[in-house]
Amino acid sequence: MAAVRRRADLPRVTAFAVLRAVTGDGAYPNIELSHALRSAGLTGRDAAFATELVNGTCRFQGTYDRILAVAGRRPLTTLQPAVVDLLRLGTHQLLAMRIPVHAAVAATVDLARERVGERVTGLVNAILRKVAAKELSDWMEVLVAGETDPLVVLATRLHHPEWIVRAYADVLPADEVEAALAANNEPAAPTLVCRPGITDRRDLLALGAEPCRWSPVGARYDGVPGELEDVRSARVGVQDEGSQLVALALSRAVEVAGPWLDLCAGPGGKAALLHGLARERGVPLVAAEVAPHRARLIDRAMAAYPGPHTVICADGTRPAWAPGSFAAVLADVPCTGLGALRRRPESRWRRDPASLGDLVPLQRALLRSALAAARPGGVVAYVTCSPHAAETTEVVDAVLADHPHTRLLSAPQYLPGVPGLRGDTAQLWPHRHGTDAMFLALVAVA
């Protein structure tokens, strides 16, 4: 009688499909997971299991790849990409999820058989059993053996590429670097944001959320935001407190009358908040976004607001508006995303130092465009979700040096009560503030 083959379980099948999309097609785990969980009908513990499998594997991917290369005694480039993803998922179960060895290995072998083929099952089984022979802490000792550079050791132990650790060390006190890196390995709790003029924080608290520490329009939510009707209807948004704070700071700094501009508005979180705040002032907001699909996301984020709102597809470096048109301009520029590693676990391995070569010139061009768009007496907020000096203070210093009729405002003045801010700019941190590592510079235009 032929042996009965076990079927791979649905949460692992779903996680594998998502990981293949992330590593093979460049998909974003949060977006891909949302679609995949809904399509598979996974909820509760099964959804949580698949989510941890994907996010945890993405977060520690670089570490797992080094472990697998040692355990398999071969470069991972000699294996099929699908097999590498199977091994990554199995390694996360073995080293970080405390799943019994026999269960983790058997389930991954079943998945390999079903999704790749019988011929790879022996290889998957053999490599994972070698991985299982050591605890994660023991593997760390193997990986750092003989290394004398403390930053390289820290990068290995805390699962970050070395270049990111050095970037953090450049801008943080030495005694905070480890805490900052460790905070990136803790998943961020969802944070809700009200839509001013439609909902307020009392509505968020009525959903069971707890008030944010500094944002008067935000609350932390211990649940799945997508299951809330107010989120689905866009009466409530999902937005990190740090993102809320930089938008609020700009709104507080504006003193002259006139329309507002969000220069790089997709996917729409800050634009929707600014739209509500601008409506309270009786002024319009123009939300500009170069990518049509992201412009549609802005429309969706603003859907709960009655009446017209202006979303245009426009390249911020080639303005579709006259110079000096706006009283407030938000330039939330494309960046490496090193400040959102809690939420974007794949980013630390997807980006590299070469990314800065493309991004920094664009960031400078967008800040110059933002300054040109502001009217006399207006304010520009330069924002990145990165603490890398090349994307933050160096961009601001370089651009303002060529704009003598500008003045750097004290950003901390417009973030009342927020501790640990130094100098005229504001750098938020997960380990200090429990937010993404948002950077803010406020510039007054004469």
pLDDT at 1: 40
pLDDT at 430: 97
pLDDT at 80: 97
Using the predicted structure, report yes or no on whether residue 5 has a pLDDT greater than 80. Answer: no
Q: In whole angstroms, how large is the CA radius of gyration of the chain?
A: 24
Asked whether residue 205 is domain-assigned, the answer is no
Least confident of 14-23, 124-133, 300-309: 300-309
Least confident of 144-153, 302-311, 329-338, 414-423: 302-311
Asked whether residue 191 is domain-assigned, the answer is no
Strands (E), 87-217: 191-194, 210-211
Asked whether residue 364 is domain-assigned, the answer is yes
Would you place residue 7 in the very low, low, confident or very high pLDDT band (cuts 50, 70, 90)? confident
Residues 230, 114: Cα–Cα separation, whole Å: 40
174 and 323 within one domain: no
CB-based contacts of 168: which residues, under 8 Å, 6+ apart?
177, 180, 181, 387
Asked whether residue 349 is domain-assigned, the answer is yes
Residues 414, 380: Cα–Cα separation, whole Å: 13
The residue range of the domain holding 46 is 10-137
**At 102, which CATH number?**
1.10.940.10
Asked whether residue 196 is domain-assigned, the answer is no
368 and 285 within one domain: yes
Residue type, 438: M
Question: Is residue 85 within 8 Å of residue 23, measured between CB atoms?
Answer: yes
**At 396, which CATH number?**
3.40.50.150
Would you place residue 235 in the very low, low, confident or very high pLDDT band (cuts 50, 70, 90)? very high
The two tokens of residue 121 are 């099952």
Residue type, 285: L
- The residues carrying an active-site annotation are 385
Residues 36, 17: Cα–Cα separation, whole Å: 8
Average pLDDT over residues 258-272: 97
294 and 331 within one domain: yes
pLDDT at 2: 45
185-232 confidence digits (pLDDT tens): 998 989 999 999 999 999 999 999 999 999 999 999 998 898 899 999
179 and 251 within one domain: no
Using the predicted structure, report yes or no on whether residue 4 has a pLDDT greater than 90. Answer: no
- Tell me the percentage of the chain whose pLDDT exceeds 90: 94
Nearest to 366 by CA among 327, 324, 439, 317: 317
Q: Are strands 406-408 and 374-384 parallel, antiparallel or unpaired?
A: unpaired
Residue with tokens 């945890």: 56
Residues 183, 242: Cα–Cα separation, whole Å: 15
Longest CA pairwise span in the chain (Å): 86
Asked whether residue 189 is domain-assigned, the answer is no
313 and 280 within one domain: yes
What is the overall mean pLDDT for the chain? 96
Would you place residue 24 in the very low, low, confident or very high pLDDT band (cuts 50, 70, 90)? very high
30-57 confidence digits (pLDDT tens): 889 999 999 999 988 999 999 999 999 9
pLDDT at 226: 85
131 and 109 within one domain: yes
- Tell me the percentage of the chain whose pLDDT exceeds 70: 99
162 and 124 within one domain: no
Q: Is 219 helix (H, G, I), strand (E, B) or coil?
A: strand
376-418 confidence digits (pLDDT tens): 999 999 999 999 999 999 999 999 999 999 999 999 999 999 9
Task: Say which DSSP state 329 is in.
Answer: E
Average pLDDT over residues 6-23: 94
Least confident of 193-197, 342-346, 425-429, 441-445: 342-346
150 and 123 within one domain: no
410 and 304 within one domain: yes
364 and 276 within one domain: yes
Q: Cis ω on the peptide bond leading into residue 419 (within 30° of 0)?
A: no
165 and 85 within one domain: no
Average pLDDT over residues 13-27: 96
Using the predicted structure, report yes or no on whether residue 3 has a pLDDT greater than 90. Answer: no
Would you place residue 419 in the very low, low, confident or very high pLDDT band (cuts 50, 70, 90)? very high
64 and 19 within one domain: yes
Nearest to 164 by CA among 243, 266, 59: 59
| Structural domains of the chain, count | 3
Asked whether residue 3 is domain-assigned, the answer is no
Identify any residues that bridge with 445 across adjacent strands, giving them in sequence order. Answer: 406
107-165 confidence digits (pLDDT tens): 999 999 999 999 999 999 999 999 999 999 999 999 999 999 999 999 999 999 999 99
Asked whether residue 214 is domain-assigned, the answer is no
Would you place residue 269 in the very low, low, confident or very high pLDDT band (cuts 50, 70, 90)? very high
